[in-house]
């Protein structure tokens, strides 16, 4: 089973600031997903990256998959209070959903 | 749209009691799964199913049973609850027949075992 480490574990910033969270492993992923989870709800998929070096943008969120497909980052520009939540990365060893391994998450709080 | 529905949302059990967490989805997804979420440990897969009549074990299956008699329903049974099973449980489904695709999660069921 792959081990996915996310950093930082907690992050509290002011509205308008930029931030980056990281997802790292010593193993190679076939694909990697990012989810956001709000209190009392289940995670919701933000993006899936598949190709090494791939960059995807979702409004103010930029996701990057490492060239070696062992790591990923999420960058948020001009954070807003609505970005508050738990951000989870999930890496797949192969092509099956049962092979998804979730990181422990980064709890982001954006203060107004 | 209902999506993935879990019941109950909250439950308190005593050690040794049994119970069933219900999960239903109305999206005609073939793949369904159960995860538990514990602080600092992310989501861990308990059991999964790639279709009606087919179930298999995930990373942490001990103490849990599942069945999949219909496409819509995937209940999780705790046969004899233990304090170590205190957790938040999430049911998830996917339209990708078990291939890596978007997982749709329910709102979770918070279980406390005393």
List, for residues B40-84, the tens digit of each pLDDT value: 888 999 999 999 999 999 999 999 999 999 999 999 999 999 999
Instruction: Inform me whether the C-beta atom of residue B58 falls under 8 Å from chain A C-beta atoms.
Output: yes
Question: Do A31 and B92 count as a contact with CB atoms less than 8 A apart?
Answer: no
Question: Residue B37 has what pLDDT?
Answer: 96
Complete DSSP assignment for A41-72: S--EEEEEE-STT-EEEETTEEEEE-TTSSEE
Q: Quote the minimal CA–CA distance from A80 to chain B in Å.
A: 24
Instruction: Inform me whether the C-beta atom of residue A40 falls under 8 Å from chain B C-beta atoms.
Output: yes
Question: Residue B1 has what pLDDT?
Answer: 66
Q: Quote the minimal CA–CA distance from A78 to chain B in Å.
A: 27
Question: Residue B41 has what pLDDT?
Answer: 82
Q: Given pLDDT bands bounded at 50, 70 and 90, which one contains residue B100?
A: confident
Instruction: Inform me whether the C-beta atom of residue B81 falls under 8 Å from chain A C-beta atoms.
Output: no
Question: Residue B98 has what pLDDT?
Answer: 62
Note the maximum CA span of chain A. Answer: 41
Which residue(s) pair with A65 in the sheet? A72
Instruction: Inform me whether the C-beta atom of residue B98 falls under 8 Å from chain A C-beta atoms.
Output: yes
Rounded CA separation B76/B65 (Å)? 6
List, for residues B87-96, the tens digit of each pLDDT value: 999 999 998 7
List, for residues A56-88, the tens digit of each pLDDT value: 999 999 999 999 999 999 999 999 999 999 999
Rounded CA separation A74/A61 (Å)? 7
Instruction: Report which of B7, B10, B99, B22 is spatially closest to residue B67, judged by C-alpha positions.
Output: B22
């Amino acid at each position: 089973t792959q081990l996915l480490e996310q950093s930082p574990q907690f992050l509290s910033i002011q509205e308008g600031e930029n931030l980056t969270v990281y997802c790292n492993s010593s193993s190679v992923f076939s694909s990697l997903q990012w989810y956001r989870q709000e209190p009392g709800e289940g995670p919701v998929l933000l993006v899936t990256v598949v190709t090494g070096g791939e960059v995807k943008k979702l409004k103010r969120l930029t996701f990057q998959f490492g060239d070696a497909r062992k790591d990923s980052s999420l960058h948020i520009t001009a954070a807003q209070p609505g970005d508050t939540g738990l951000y989870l990365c999930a890496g797949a060893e192969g092509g099956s959903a049962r092979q998804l391994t979730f990181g422990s998450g980064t709890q982001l709080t954006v203060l107004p | 749209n209902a999506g993935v529905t879990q019941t109950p949302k909250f439950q308190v059990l005593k050690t040794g009691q049994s119970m069933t967490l219900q999960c239903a989805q109305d999206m005609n997804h073939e793949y369904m799964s159960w995860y538990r979420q514990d602080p600092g440990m992310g989501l861990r897969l308990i059991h999964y199913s790639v279709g009606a009549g087919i179930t298999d074990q995930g990373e942490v299956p001990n103490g849990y049973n599942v069945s999949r008699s219909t496409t819509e329903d995937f209940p999780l049974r705790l046969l004899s609850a233990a304090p170590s099973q205190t957790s938040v449980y999430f049911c998830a489904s996917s339209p990708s027949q078990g291939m890596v695709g978007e997982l749709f999660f329910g709102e979770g069921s918070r279980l406390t075992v005393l």
